[in-house]
A and B are shown apart, each in its own frame.
Chain A
Amino acid sequence: MIHFNKFTLGNGLRVIVHEDHTTPMAVLNVLYDVGARDEDPARTGFAHLFEHLMFGGSVNIPDYDEPLQMAGGENNAFTTNDLTNYYIQLPAENIETAFWLESDRMLSLAFDEKSLDVQRKVVSEEFKEHYINKPYGDVWHKMRELAYSTHPYRWMTIGKELSHIETASLEDVKAFFFKYYRPVNAILVVGGKVTTAQVKALAEKWFGDIPSGEKYQRQIPQEPAQTAAHKLEVKANVPLDALYKCYHIYKREDPRYYAADLISDILGGGSSSRLHQVLVKEKKLFSNIECYHFGSLDAGLLAIEGKLVKGVKMKDAEKAIQEELSKLQQTVIPERELQKVKNRVESLLAFEDMSLLNRANNLAFYELMGDAALMNTEFTHYEVVTTADIHREANIIFDEKNSNTIYYYADNQI
């Protein structure tokens, strides 16, 4: 049970306080309700580039990192297709430094041309390092375009192409900031060795006078149900053939999401999971195979990916996966197997909650979903899933018409 208090400032900023007096540390986490799904299709990668610019100095503070490091603090941030999250961890005595820094960059950035110039280059190198200069690095670009016709999940957080990042202007940056980075679109979580009264006073002092801004009304075209299987063949300079299959699943808030999550564990969670056991260990068709899902807020994808053992034919590998999926569709799984994946989720959640930083991140995430209190009831949604639910959802999800397949062929061999 994670305890917290919640209040809202006059300007609409939601504040959550999670007191934990067993630690000497404090965490300040700010989540902005904007991610790559909110981008203009002609300017993708912008939410993430913007995250970099948030470290380029704010209106009253020329350097963000230095004063924080001086206060014994560390920070980082991440952008996803759904949201952008910034966090600081520092000794609790110095928590006001975190309020000072975060509130000033919510007030306004410095909008420095030099910072934009450098960060465009840095992000270009990040793009190259992760998606161009790695074997199979382009596959998720291709898969998103294959699976999504309409929804902005068509592109990755890093962006569709380098040119979108390279042409971003300072005007774009300003417009983005004042549209999304306003108190009314943000959630502040403060955790650790702090008191609610102290946080209330500090939040009022530092964030209270920031203009509220206009609530961003998200209007994203949702993905229509897929009506025919999508397939794509790729040939690239990689050592091994690989197979990727993705199926549309549900929105994060949909009750059926939990069954879909457990299905991905049945297939791919741990060494006793079905795909690993049958396809890697018994049939020896794949040298590794994984099953997971994207965990996105709008309807996401359940993915199966594996590298074929040298000499195995693509169609045999695919047929073997299909057989495992058909088993789930035809036969109700044993109660004990369902209990196994539920137990796995239960301990995963318990271990996640051990870190103060994770608790603060998660409180912000669940508040974005509608209510931070959802964090404490999350496991009950898994507990109620039945073997019949798994059976039903496997039949819906693994419908051939709902599938997207990439056959990734090696054009040089080991």
Chain B
Amino acid sequence: MNRKIAPAIKDAVEFDVTLKPYEKFTLDNGIPVYVVKSDEQDTLQLEFIFPAGSWYEQESQVAAATNFLIKNGSTKHNALEINESIEYFGAYLNRNSYHENATYTLHCLTRHTEDLLPLLQEVIQDPAFTADELATYQQNMKQRLAVNLQKCDFVANRYIDKYLFGEFHPYGRVSTMMAYDALQPESLRAFYQKHYSYNNCKIFVAGHLPENMIALLNKYFGSTQWNGESTLLRPELPIQTADEKKHRIFNDENGVQGAVRVARHFPNRYHPDFPKMMVLNTILGGYFGSRLMSNIREEKGYTYGIHSQLYNFRQTSALNIQTEAGRDVCEATIEEIYKELQNLQNEPVPEEELSLVRNYMIGSILGDLDGAFQVIQRWKSLILNDLDENYFNNNIRIIKTITAEELQHLAKQYFTPSDFYELVVI
């Protein structure tokens, strides 16, 4: 046995990566239910999704506050009674609000599903939005914001989105003390009424379902037109980008690190360059062996980690390179980032590296598709963006077949340093 020689491997291009199909049901009132089953474990994930993200709010923070406070008391039970009942069954009811959508997600053991559904019905269909709960929320969110504003990475994330999209666009708007102070129970109620209605609801279920799951969903969520019918308009909103591209901000004079951000606009996921950029972005800064990690962490030791990411926003996307680097090497870090961008413009990616990235990406997707909870996650992101498995399959095909020339062409188009916003927050 020669330890210097690697064992033979099966190449990624040979792996057949397919998305396990979902089953679709429609409740009596028309709510679509997407299901991915797996009976190996006794666990269930049930998610309710509404078009109720910050995109739709007229006043800052209304979407997030509405989403949070739906769970904090109904017209029949207060927050403690509701939380106690849910937690008694060892269940977790999480809520999240994003740019486009807002969610309520239940995780529980399958055998408790029937006990939990009436509680969930009460939470989602009958929230109270009491003044007292809102006041506690406002106070605690303001305190949390005060702590976060001391963190250079938090501050940098706010500024870079503002430069890219403008502070009046939902993608660039940030939380402020003033916005929290301005929240009113009436505006939350109105937002709830308009966005959390039965005809805007989609349900995603994964895991081990009780036999009568669809009947149960029909009983609690499918038999009435709860919250009435509401028609939403989704206008495209104007983006206002910053004129000045280079920014340096001192947030903490004693800071020992700076948060570095280097970012530019990029078309959204419907553009043909998007899936190609997924590959180029991986090469640049999307995995541990990326150009940025190899150079700036593993060669120079400027940082604990550096990453580049492609935003998954709906209207428009962006490419964002981010790191926290030693205070005195922030400028050197930016210089190295530009060098790496230019290297990808000037030289085609070597075949060996491209093949490695193909294999890495396919292996990683294969791992991500392991289990019903993961599979439904993929479907959710397709369905909510009006896409289907062809989009997924096309992405896989691009990972497997994109050439070094195409990638260099893409780099020439999108990696010109002067197109990027740059920011250091110390």
Contacts and interface: CB of A to CB of B under 8 A. Distances in A.
B109 A97 contact: no
B90 A347 contact: yes
B3 A100 contact: yes
Contacts of A296: none
A125 B363 contact: no
Given A128-B326, A347-B91, A72 B143 contact: no
Contact of B7 (A97, A125, A346): A97
A238 interface: yes
B37 to A, nearest CB: 13
A339 B300 CA distance: 53
A297 interface: no
Contact of B9 (A70, A118, A238, A239): A70
Interface stretch (B158-166, B273-281, B365-373): B365-373
B88 A340 contact: yes
Interface string B53-76: 000000000000000000100000
B326 A100 contact: no
B88 A336 contact: yes
Contacts of A120: 301
Contacts of A100: 3, 6-7
Contact of A60 (B4, B89, B287): B4
A399 interface: no
Q: Which of B12, B71, B90, B303 has the most CB of A within 10 A?
A: B90
Contacts of A128: 256-257, 326
A51 B411 CA distance: 35
A41 to B, nearest CB: 25
A163 interface: no
A135 B150 contact: yes
Q: Which of A104, A121, A205 has the most CB of B within 10 A?
A: A121
Given A66-B356, A272-B84, A340-B87, A126 B10 contact: no
A99 B8 CA distance: 12
Interface residues of B, number: 73
Given A237-B254, A354-B43, A129 B304 contact: yes
A72 B87 contact: no
A255 interface: no
A69 B11 CA distance: 11
Contacts of A310: 143
B182 interface: no
B87 A94 contact: no
A132 interface: yes
B326 A280 contact: no
Contacts of B1: 205
Interface stretch (A11-19, A22-30, A182-190, A321-329): A22-30
Contacts of A371: none
Interface in A284-309: 284, 287-288, 307, 309
B301 A65 contact: no
Contacts of A96: 7-8
Given A288-B144, A356-B370, A66 B289 contact: yes
B150 A122 contact: no
B136 A270 contact: no
A346 B4 contact: no
A237 B252 CA distance: 10
Interface stretch (A85-93, A149-157, A361-369, A386-394): A85-93
Contact of A307 (B42, B147, B150, B371): B147
Contacts of B91: 347
A59 to B, nearest CB: 8
A354 B366 contact: no
29 contacts: A61-B3, A69-B287, A69-B288, A69-B357, A69-B360, A70-B9, A70-B360, A71-B359, A122-B297, A123-B304, A124-B301, A126-B304, A128-B256, A129-B304, A132-B256, A133-B257, A135-B147, A205-B1, A238-B150, A239-B150, A281-B79, A287-B144, A307-B147, A309-B139, A340-B87, A345-B90, A347-B92, A353-B41, A414-B146
Which 6 pairs of residues, A with B, have the shortest CB-CB distance? A72-B363, A121-B301, A343-B90, A347-B90, A272-B83, A287-B143
Interface of A: 22-25, 59-61, 65-67, 69-74, 89-91, 93-94, 96-97, 99-100, 103-104, 107, 117-126, 128-129, 132-136, 205, 237-240, 269-272, 277, 280-281, 284, 287-288, 307, 309-310, 336, 339-340, 343-348, 350-351, 353-356, 414
Given A270-B87, A350-B109, 10 more contacts: A23-B370, A60-B3, A90-B363, A96-B8, A135-B151, A136-B147, A272-B87, A340-B84, A350-B43, A351-B107
